[in-house]
Chain A
């Protein structure tokens, strides 16, 4: 099978900064399919949705869809508008900016954004 993923030699471990400022390892970067997300569980019980864009850049936002309360944003589709990446909730399709967490369809709604790094 042909793949656009990085080769194992260059793969990094993705880490997310938790509430106590510690970096929590999540997974190998190669686990992420460009344009799709995965969910990770932080030690404090929060869930994070982690995405990789087509360019390789990684984003992390809260996994909870504020419109339904369900922990599902990691299973939404990634897109971009005017060059800015977003994820569309798989339930009612509201879009969230992956860089800022702002909802593109409702100014009053936003989700938390988490610092993420590859190490």
Chain B
């Protein structure tokens, strides 16, 4: 900005520097606001924001510095003026100024109140005596620690979340500890009666004394110091100190004093954009009364509000200004070493809802699920074992795939806990295309019978895997009616005996009845894939040509009317404008329907088989090659834009994605392979849903394997961390070749990994630690693949003999298939299905125009 301009630099004043305040500052920095505005922070505590949620960990050896939420140099880097130990005293909204305790006056354009809350201390006699404390700040902890040195007994008023934290702290300081809770159970907000009882037993077993259903009447003192407490049930407790932890109240005094609207029971009233009754003033976090009428005492909703306010102040117009309309109050935490979680409608307040409860007093485990009359999971409480929280919370609002009792029973209790198909209820619909239930499938003996009797699995086919798991385990583990060996056994046979043809394998290792026969639609492509991964030859020659599914045979994907789709490879999703134009021109010239795929490339639909060579001639001339969308092989390596452009990126994810896609293109596998590379932990490329996914770290790459989207989603498992480029590639080489070698037919890496004996640990042993001594060979096989790779479409176009098959009719090579016709749809084409229902096309050529 030139010096002679008197442009106004806006000032943002933040009052309060807790966790939410700090998140607000980070959000401003992310949006670049710190570069164009002056930012002033007034902080009452003597130190910058720290992790209040982890406060108790101070007693397990964490220092105040460990708890800090502020990255070193953050304030300096963004030019933020932070005044610690100098709280705001008053606000003049007319003059738009804030006066701090030190007397400094700051003019503001936007004022953000993040003053948090204060501990509620019940108005009982003696509450201000020496030895009475609250539990809120690091300073409180330091004072408690000091006083405890001369104490032997401590009492906590309040058996909620914070109260139990405080009790844990006193216990940790070596005091005999009492907990006094007014409600009839511990943690009344989060857990129900049964959960409270389980918690009570566990906590009493640790040696704490719990008094529930009773209030504190008086703090008994002698010479101004605490000596005990009188409870409302008439009993007395001798104690040297009292910690009040009976809830918090919003700190809204500053707002009240300057005339902002506050709620009846406290809290600065804000709208969805976190604006108070004065649009220049915002309130976020525990001091705010959200637009849904609630004050949120959890940090996550506070963070959401911080981001909302920052977006509004930054004048952002993107979708990030979503507004804060309320938050999920689900929580999972560890109190005194006990897991406690609650989610959704934990108290079963919905009308007509039902409970499913598992309770084991011996181990202090209590689990309750709240289910609606229709079987929808509404919420629940988990105490003592909150392992399933991660699974149950996402299922909230849905009808779980297994019966509720199986979700709460512990492993080994007679019923499988895993959400496998065997645990599905009898009336669960397995095939949604044909509405076939598990019960109906149970009446059949084999997949063929299921298809024949129920039609299940003949629609989209996505349920076939589930059906197979529901059928009685076949005594014969053979691949099909032709082979009694599994795919991986056949792989080993072909590899070790160097068998290079299907006929030779069938005649030497097929079942007796199948020897000399044709094979079948199951074993032919399977063996074709094995031979392709072992030999790397052109897959359309000689006998190989008869083994491939039609998609592999024509190097394109057959669609429902017998036309094909074409997918050129776009490695990493990176493409030049010129190449994009070529794709557009080809699509336009051949009248193809175009759609962007989920794998960051472009699918061109509606090509007749006889058009494929002409289409590919244009594409190959422009530098494209086969995308192998038709093969059981590597599809795409998706990427985010990475460090090159993205301000968050820590590695060049696009470069790595391209390198990997070019390395593994054309690799034949038991099933398709998908991959992605994300340039930072934000994971925009969704790598954890891929067969092998890579996420950049500051030190290199993390490799995840066995992820899947589709019908049975699975998060990938972390195989190795902080790999260099070379280490990453070597590990993926080994992983893929080990998978190709040992997986069953049509088994994705996710199911393979689930099935693999020893699971992830075994996989690590084999491919990371080389426990089987296989790695050299696996790497050599991959090196051979990389060396031998050639583009199948370029090879095909170079050979007139190979091109001969690309005709609709062998006796009329120039005639297009009249049954492949299209009608308009949204300015493009779609298959004309009416012509297919006619049974046959009555004219030879007249219907062929398109």
Q: What residues of chain A have their CB less than 8 Å away from a CB belonging to chain B? A: 1-4, 24-27, 31, 33-36, 38-41, 43-47, 50, 53-54, 64, 68-72, 75-83, 85, 88, 90-95, 105-106
Contacts and interface: CB of A to CB of B under 8 A. Distances in A.
Interface string B513-526: 11011111100110
B498 interface: no
Name the residue among B812, B817, B842 with the largest chain A CB count within 10 angstroms: B817
Contact of B521 (A34, A36, A91, A93): A93
Given A45-B844, A70-B561, 5 more contacts: A45-B843, A47-B817, A79-B517, A79-B520, A105-B451
A39 to B, nearest CB: 5
B458 A92 contact: yes
Interface in B823-850: 833, 836-844
A82 B525 CA distance: 20
Contact of A39 (B516, B519, B809): B809
A50 B810 contact: yes
Contacts of A76: 521, 550
Name the residue among B461, B541, B804, B809 with the largest chain A CB count within 10 angstroms: B809
A25 B542 contact: no
Interface string B14-44: 0000000000000000000000000000000
Contact of B524 (A24, A35, A75): A35
A81 B518 CA distance: 8
A46 B525 CA distance: 29
Interface string B539-578: 0011101110111011000101110000000000000000
Contact of A80 (B518, B810, B833, B837): B518
Contacts of A38: 805, 809-810
Contacts of A43: 844
A79 B518 contact: yes
A4 B542 contact: yes
Contacts of B560: 68, 70, 91
B553 A75 contact: yes
Interface string B789-822: 0000000000000001100111110010111100
Contact of B841 (A1, A45, A78, A94): A45
Q: Tell me whether chain B's interface is mostly helix, strand or loop, or mixed.
A: loop
Given A43-B844, A64-B839, A105 B521 contact: no
B257 to A, nearest CB: 74
A72 B558 CA distance: 9
A3 B802 CA distance: 13
B333 interface: no
A1 B549 CA distance: 22
Nearest to B449: A105
Nearest to A87: B521
Contacts of A79: 482, 517-521, 524
Nearest to B506: A54
29 contacts: A1-B541, A4-B543, A26-B810, A33-B546, A35-B518, A35-B524, A35-B543, A35-B547, A39-B810, A40-B810, A41-B808, A41-B844, A47-B809, A50-B810, A54-B518, A64-B840, A71-B819, A77-B549, A78-B518, A79-B517, A79-B518, A79-B521, A80-B520, A88-B521, A91-B558, A91-B562, A92-B461, A94-B458, A105-B451
Contacts of A4: 542-543
Contacts of B503: 54
A64 B609 CA distance: 16
A33 B561 CA distance: 24
Name the residue among A4, A24, A69, A88 with the largest chain B CB count within 10 angstroms: A69
Contacts of B543: 4, 34-35
Contacts of B519: 35, 79-80
Contacts of A35: 518-519, 524, 543, 546-547
B294 interface: no
Given A40-B810, A75-B554, A105-B448, A45 B546 contact: no
A85 B837 contact: no
B452 interface: yes
Contacts of A80: 514, 517-520
B481 interface: yes
Contacts of A45: 818, 840-844
Contacts of A54: 503, 516-518
A43 B842 CA distance: 10
A52 B815 CA distance: 23
A45 B457 CA distance: 33
Contacts of B811: 24-27, 40-41
A94 B457 CA distance: 12
A79 B547 CA distance: 10
Contacts of B521: 76-77, 79, 88, 93, 95
B684 to A, nearest CB: 36
Nearest to A67: B458
A78 B545 CA distance: 12
A105 B840 contact: no
Contact of B542 (A3, A31, A69, A71): A3
Nearest to A69: B836
B461 to A, nearest CB: 8
B836 A70 contact: yes
Contact of B809 (A1, A34, A41): A41
A85 B518 contact: yes
Nearest to B820: A71
B296 to A, nearest CB: 53
Given A40-B810, A41-B815, A41-B844, A83 B513 contact: yes
A75 B482 CA distance: 21
A33 B562 contact: no
Contacts of B525: 77
Contacts of A81: 481, 520
A41 to B, nearest CB: 4
A54 B543 CA distance: 10
Nearest to A103: B452
Interface string B647-672: 00000000000000000000000000
A43 B840 CA distance: 13
Nearest 8 Cβ contacts at the A-B interface: A69-B836, A35-B546, A79-B520, A88-B521, A90-B550, A80-B518, A70-B562, A80-B517
A78 B558 CA distance: 17
A71 B545 CA distance: 20
